[in-house]
Structure 1
Amino acid sequence: MVRLVCLLLLIFSAGVFSQNTATGPHIEVALVSEHNQVRVGDTQWLGVLLSPDKDWHTYWLNPGDSGEAPTIQWQSDANIEFGDIHWPLPKPIQVAHLVNYGYEGVTLLMVPINLKQITKKRISISADLSWLVCKEDCIPGWATLKIDLPVSDTIKLSEHSNLFEQTRLNLPEKHKNTAQFELTSTHLGLQTTLPYQSDWHVFPFRGDVIAHNAEQAWAHRANRSQVVISLSDYFATPSEPLNFLISDGKNGFYVEAIPNDTSGADNNSPSQSLWLMLLFAFIGGLILNIMPCVLPILSMKALSFAQSQKANQWGYPIGVLVSFWLFASIILVLKEAGSAVGWGFHLQEPLLIAGLAFLFTFIAMMLWDLLPKGINLAGVGQSLTGESTFTQQFFTGVLAVIVASPCTAPFMATALGVAMISPMLDTLAIFTALAVGFALPMTLLSLSTRFAALLPKPGAWMQTFKHFLGFPMLATVVWLAWVFLSQTSSFGQLWLLSGLLGFTFFIWLSAKVNRVYCVMSLLLAMTFATFCSVKGTQATKVISKQKNNHFSAQKLTELRNNNHVVLVNMTADWCITCKVNEQVALNNADLQALFEDSKVDYLVGDWTNKNQAIYEYLEQYQRSGVPLYVVYAGNHSKKVLPQVLTPDIVINAIQQAKKEINHATSN
């Protein structure tokens, strides 16, 4: 008896009854007809009425990131032809970071039927239904509903006829508009004609075409409109047309999009508006002035304005512009040659790391007044601390760009990511906007007396401050030596430090004895820089204790397929922002405790040296450099984190991803 009661309760909870209504948890379902009779040869309408509880929803034919569309299997004792479901206009439903497509409230799924011939006076129609009703959790349901209708030459509307009429008003247009689509490696561009300006949303028929939670921004032209949407991670380039519903919530129409003949001609075109990217680059350039790798140089530059207002006003900004243009040109040439390059790519070369170490050592010696009198290396010396000619100011701008190259400021990453895949002129325009933003603060100080008045008044403190700035320079040398170690070996680092020792000795000696020794010290520096770089790369690189968190695309795929939460950290030893984030956020005790969960993983991609797999991963997110932080909720969603992290940002993203996996797997 107890087993029988449990079986009945189970059947009741699933909503399985042989009648025209059923009740399941949080939903009522009914099979209804627009007419009370059925007539031979006419197209008439049946409908499945879904009535979920408040705040619960059911799904469209493509449920989106999660969920399942209702299904209907028809049976009848008469010769009846059943058509397809006529789906009402859906709406995007946000669930955490997921976006589903479906219906909130009462929904009628209309199906046309046609009785081919009379075999009896009364026919029976049954529908085997399945559905999913969701809120934060999801509950499946099943039912077999049945309706009997008499056959008659005269038909009358049923009590549900108004519901059918209201539903027809919420159906998309019957005809399909023509459309074309183009593909890049990461985005889909859809072009079609819109009937009027509105907040249109694209709903694909297939669930593997677009990222459902991606922003959809339309661009309107004279006779055509275009929307660019991020592709799904599971999308495979099709040769057949793609079907979409385009709706603004009040009206909608279907489109059948065919591949554009020019889709393969420009697979690297940027999806974002060029003007928006120029704005991002300009803001990123402004912020770059206060990044840790740049601030000491610009402090010395500001110091020169405090000492004298007679410096050439245009040498510095022109030096910055030329340097960024040269940077862009080198990147374009190398990419055209097939090299994997991005912002900060030069810091992957040990020889350049060694050269920067000698440069920063020289600047520190200059700030401590240890250089021989009269030395003026085209702006590296006097242009930073005294009156400057155009040439000196120009090379100060060059120096500022060189030391800024390891840094990536907020807004800057998105703009540079687009620049790396854009046509040549767009790339140069974005780098120009970045240069203007970077050069603007110092240029305003030299041009405007109002801005210059913000600087402290000259005094004895300036000499002390100048000497103090030598220590950040040496701190930078320490960091560069550490980067050099990771790129070469401990033997290579020994040669570099020996070269720096000899370099500082000959600078000191040249100040005491004769100016000619300064030239010798520079030659020695160049020799040591070359020698230690070659020796370091030939020696066996020091390999740290192996960990199981090294990034690989295969490992990431396996973890996502197993419904793990994965934090991917793309970093490099020469990336100061990366190292700050690791100390401030990623080494947080609460965050480390989350990684103890067997379903939470942390993968680190080290881009200190060239790595094609990491470069290809960065390209997926239109990034040209590090840092890049992405949190994956299995295969259900992903979230790109800001470039400047706090522990709460990372912890909240991981916890949200765990909720999304629990939500999706409960379906």
Structure 2
Amino acid sequence: MLRLLALLLLFLASPAAAQLGTGTAHMRPELVAEGPAVPGREVELAILMTPEPGWHGYWENPGDAGKAMTVAWDLPPGASAGPLRYPVPTRLTIAGLMNYVFKGPYAVLVRLKVPADARGTLPIRATLDYLVCTDEVCVPERGSVALNLSVGEGARDARFDEWRAKVPRPIGAGAHYAVSGQSLAIAIPLPSAVGVGQPYFFPISDNVVRYADAQRFRRSGDTLVAELPLSGAPTGAVAGVIDLGNGRALQVEATPGPVPEGGREIGASEPWRVLLIAFVGALAGGLILNLMPCVFPILALKALALARAGGEERHARMDALGYTAGAVVGTGALGAVLLAIRAGGSAAGWAFQLQDPRTVLVLALLATAITLNLLGLFKLPVLGGDSNPRGGFATGALAAFVATPCAGPFMGAALGTALLLPAAGALLVFAGLGL
């Protein structure tokens, strides 16, 4: 019902969605063979689907919305076509609906059984019905493909090796599943020596798994266990494709049976790894910032303050903490003001204050005053003065205010905005203190 409702909404969004076989096709199908037909044997065929830029086709199970392709074959007597074999799709979430799609050209493979008495040329014809969509509109289309397949010997199409490599391989041993509450656990035989990245289970069986919900995986010896959010109790075998996240994928057909408990959860330590990478990236970005024209002059103030610290470790540490606090407060205040301006309807960006010529003039005068201060012409009691928390806080806040243009390329998120500059400043100051 959810899929029908989603398709109905997509069709109503565009008048073109009600037309079949129009002259403005957004998907170009083509039928090719790996080589000539050999009587009594099989030959591999490929249905090449090439969508226009911005359009996508659907996997054999389209997910929450969409429609799988159907093929009506017109074959010579004695010839037969096997099931369609799809490559691994990609995931596309629109309005909370999970879709399994192909955003670029893809090849659907099928094996053709050649009649034992085949001679000359075999006319292969097929009519395809499929759905092609953008993120906003869907159009059902119908296409016809034709191929006059020669019988005998000849060269083969090397592209089929690449296309076959993208099709999931069937596992050699049987998989089992068990239902527990609102979870479906599938035990997939997989030697422990086989590496797994970030796996994902694409269900072929429909109305069994909630597509948009999170999936969990764990390793128990030579078994990979997928814990999937249950949509409806399965009545027979559960088929799907497990993408191992390392360029390999396996075709799975699970039957009711035992599923091992425990094991190591895959990705359990991933949040810590991501946090560590983000922290190291923030420090690296801060170090780069400190070498850029926006920030580098401010370091002279800290160097002078450290030089005047007289070796008092406690005072130097308090000054460093004050600088860090000033950078944090200054950056947070700028972010809060920016959000308030945007909430008022203005299209302000990061470093909005430097878009005002008056602010630039004030900063230019301040930079001149700091330069004269460093030359000894006079002494500012806060900036560049003696080592103390108040002076460190003011210098950190000034660094946050002045460094916003250089910080823009590094701002990937609000948390990065809050941590990037102060973390790097604290690192440099603490390194200078030998802490």
Contact 2:79 / 2:112 at 8 angstroms: preserved in 1? yes
- The answer as to 2:113 corresponding to 1:117 is no
1:254 to 236, 251, 254: 251
For 1:56-71, what aligned pairs fall within 5 Å after superposition? 56-71=55-70
Paired position in structure 2 for 1:49: 48
One-letter code of the match for 1:77? P
Distance 2:199 2:186 in 1: 12
Which residue of the partner structure matches residue 93 of structure 2?
Answer: 94
Superposition pairs of residues 237-248 of structure 1, within 5 angstroms: 237-238=234-235, 240-248=236-244
Give the 3 Å change call, closer, same or farther, for CA 148–217 of structure 1 in structure 2.
same
**Residue 167 of structure 2: aligned partner:** 171
1:259–1:15 distance in 2 versus 1, CA, 3 Å? same
Contact persistence 1:177–1:256 (CA under 8 A):
no
Unpaired stretches in structure 1, ≥5 consecutive residues: 1-9, 17-22, 277-667
SS in 1 for 2:233: coil
1:261: Cα distance to partner?
5.0
Map of 1:199 onto structure 2 = 198
Alignment match of 1:186 (pick from 175, 182, 185): 182
Alpha-carbon distance change, 252 to 262 in structure 1, aligned in 2, over 3 angstroms: closer
Secondary structure at the aligned position of 2:163 is classed as helix
- Mapped partners of 1:93, 1:79: distance in 2: 41
After TM superposition, list the pairs within 5 Å mapping 1:112-151 onto structure 2: 112-118=111-117, 120-136=119-135, 137-151=137-151
Q: Give the CA deviation at 1:213.
A: 0.6
Decide which structure has greater helix share: 1
Higher fraction of strand: 2
1:28 aligns with 2:25: no
Distance 2:116 2:174 in 1: 38
Kindly provide the CA deviation profile for residues 221-277 of structure 1, in whole angstroms up to 9, marking residues without a partner as x: 333332222111xx1342x221221013521112222223589xx9xx9xx99x99x
Shift of 1:102: 2.2
CA distance in structure 2 between the aligned counterparts of 1:237 and 1:39, rounded to whole angstroms: 41
Aligned counterparts of 2:60 and 2:177: Cα–Cα separation in 1: 21
Structure 2 SS opposite 1:69:
coil
Deviation at 1:206, TM superposition (A): 1.2
CA distance in 1, matches of 2:138, 2:124: 29
Give distance in 1, aligned partners of 2:186 and 2:178.
7
Give the drift of 1:52: 0.7
Q: How does 1:311-322 map to 2 (within 5 A)?
A: none
Q: What secondary structure does 2:146 align onto?
A: strand
Output one character per residue of 1:409-430: Cα deviation in whole Å (capped at 9) or x when no partner: xxxxxxxxxxxxxxxxxxxxxx
Aligned-partner SS, 1:102: strand
Query: Following the alignment from structure 1 to structure 2, what is the Cα–Cα distance between the partners of residues 257 and 119?
Result: 39
Larger radius of gyration: 1
Identity of aligned residues (%): 24
Aligned 1:385-534 pairs, distance under 5 A: none
1:24–1:41 distance in 2 versus 1, CA, 3 Å: farther
Distance in 2 (CA, whole Å) between partners of 1:255 and 1:94 is 24
Contact 1:14 1:143 in 2 (8 A): no
Task: Give the aligned residue type for 2:149.
Answer: L
- Aligned equivalents of 2:102 and 2:80: distance in 1? 27
Q: Name the structure 1 match of 2:72.
A: 73
Measured against aligned partners, the alpha-carbon deviations of 1:385-419 in whole angstroms (never above 9, x if no partner) come to xxxxxxxxxxxxxxxxxxxxxxxxxxxxxxxxxxx
2:177 and 2:258 in contact (8 A); partners too:
no
Going from structure 1 to structure 2, the CA distance change for 1:119 and 1:32 (only over 3 Å counts) comes to: closer
Paired residues for 1:633-652 under 5 Å: none
Q: What displacement does 1:89 show?
A: 1.3
Give the AA of the match of 2:175: A
Distance 2:116 2:256 in 1: 44
Length, aligned pairs only? 244
> RMSD in angstroms over aligned alpha carbons?
2.9
- 1:282-321 to structure 2, matched below 5 A, reads none
What are the residue-to-residue correspondences of 1:7-18 with 2, within 5 Å? 14-15=20-21
Query: Structure 1 residue 212: deviation in Å?
Result: 0.3
SS of the residue 1:165 aligns to: helix
Q: What's the offset of the Cα at 1:148?
A: 1.4
Does structure 1 conserve the Cα–Cα contact (< 8 Å) formed by 2:41 and 2:116? no
SS of equivalent residue, structure 2 residue 161: helix
Task: After TM superposition, give the deviation of residue 51 of structure 1 in Å.
Answer: 0.5
Cα deviations across residues 448-470 of structure 1 (Å, max 9, x unaligned)?
A: xxxxxxxxxxxxxxxxxxxxxxx
Taking structure 1 as reference, are residues 262 and 93 closer, same or farther at Cα in structure 2, changes over 3 Å only? closer
CA distance in 1, matches of 2:254, 2:38: 38
8 Å CA contact 1:177–1:253 kept in 2: the answer is no
1:186 partner amino acid: Q
Contact 1:14 1:24 in 2 (8 A): no
Name the counterpart of 1:236. Answer: 233
Q: Distance in 1 between matches of 2:196 and 2:144?
A: 44
Change in CA separation of 1:56 and 1:262 when aligned onto 2, cut-off 3 Å:
closer
Q: Secondary structure at the match of 1:41?
A: coil
Partners of 1:108 and 1:164 within 8 A in 2: no
* Corresponding position of 2:341: none
In structure 2, relative to structure 1, the CA distance for the partners of 1:215 and 1:52 (3 Å cut) is: same
User: For the structure 1 residues 248 and 82, does the alpha-carbon distance in structure 2 shift closer, same or farther, using more than 3 Å as the test?
Assistant: same
- Contact 2:118–2:151, Cα closer than 8 Å, also in 1: no
